[in-house]
Amino acid sequence: MRKPIVLAVLGVTTLLFGSMVTIPQASAASLPTEKQCKKAKNLDQVTQGWCVAITRKKGNCLACHAIEVKGWPKDLPAAGNIGPPLVSMKDRYKDRAKLRAQVWDSTVANPETVMPPFGRNKILTETEIDRIVDFLLTI
Ligand code: HEC
């Protein structure tokens, strides 16, 4: 009988205080959900990039890519697998410009790609693309 009550209290406490605590860095225990991203202020650049990536009206990267990152928020919907999982980015992209170019215009590397050219088509701003790259280079 006790456990559900304790869990309920914990849940409510998390709901009440979750949005008030400082949003952690991408490497920290838990990343913000899309909803928390919307409300949060003064996010560091890496977390801003995470937010642009997961927000459906912005990058919506999760529609096609799993992102392998610590602190994955539990209530985030499962990612799609149309594109390859975004893993070991900082090891695979020693050249930041190369990664940025892929996000800016994916059709240069592959004219047949289904990945939207986020920069060329102005889906994201230049700054938003920079923040996504900041974030990707932490994973
Ligand atoms: C509609 C599906 C779709 C969306 C949305 C999408 N991608 Fe992709 N992406 C792909 C596919 C498919 C590939 C595989 C390569 C190709 O098609 O040229 C890819 C390839 C990539 C690559 C190169 C592969 C690698 O692992 O290094 C990166 C980086 C990447 N995507 C990042 C992103 C980011 C960041 C976002 C969000 C801003 C995003 N993608 C959104 C479909 C998508």
Atom of ligand 1 nearest to the CA of 113: 17
Task: Quote the distance between the C-alpha of residue 131 and its chain's center.
Answer: 10
Structure confidence at residue 29 (pLDDT)? 61
Q: Which residue is closest in CA terms to ligand 1's atom 30?
A: 103
Atom of ligand 1 nearest to the CA of 124: 38
Q: Please state the rounded mean pLDDT for residues 49-64.
A: 97
Atom of ligand 1 nearest to the CA of 52: 38
Residue 13 pLDDT more than 70? no
- Percentage of the chain beyond pLDDT 90 is 70
Q: Which residue is closest in CA terms to ligand 1's atom 40?
A: 61
Q: Which residue is closest in CA terms to ligand 1's atom 12?
A: 83
Q: What is the pLDDT of residues 64-111, one digit of tens each?
A: 999 988 888 877 878 999 999 999 999 999 999 999 999 999 999 999
Question: Would you state the structure tokens that stand for residue 48, as one six-digit string?
Answer: 């801003």
Half-sphere exposure of 38 (CA within 13 A, CB side): 7
Residue of 132, 49, 139, 50 whose CA lies nearest to 92: 139
Distance in Å, CA 114 to ligand 1 centroid: 8
Work out the pLDDT band at 125, boundaries 50, 70, 90: very high
How confident is the prediction for the chain on average, in pLDDT? 85
Structure confidence at residue 69 (pLDDT)? 87
What is the best residue among 57, 64, 132 to mutate for testing ligand 1's pocket, by most ligand atoms within 8 Å of CB?
Answer: 64
Residue 131 pLDDT more than 80? yes
Distance in Å, CA 115 to ligand 1 centroid: 5
Q: From CA 18, how far away is CA 32, in angstroms rounded?
A: 9
Q: From CA 45, how far away is CA 25, in angstroms rounded?
A: 9
Structure confidence at residue 2 (pLDDT)? 57
Q: Which amino acid is at 84?
A: P
Q: Which residue is closest in CA terms to ligand 1's atom 38?
A: 59
Q: From CA 58, how far away is CA 118, in angstroms rounded?
A: 9
Q: From CA 80, how far away is CA 122, in angstroms rounded?
A: 23
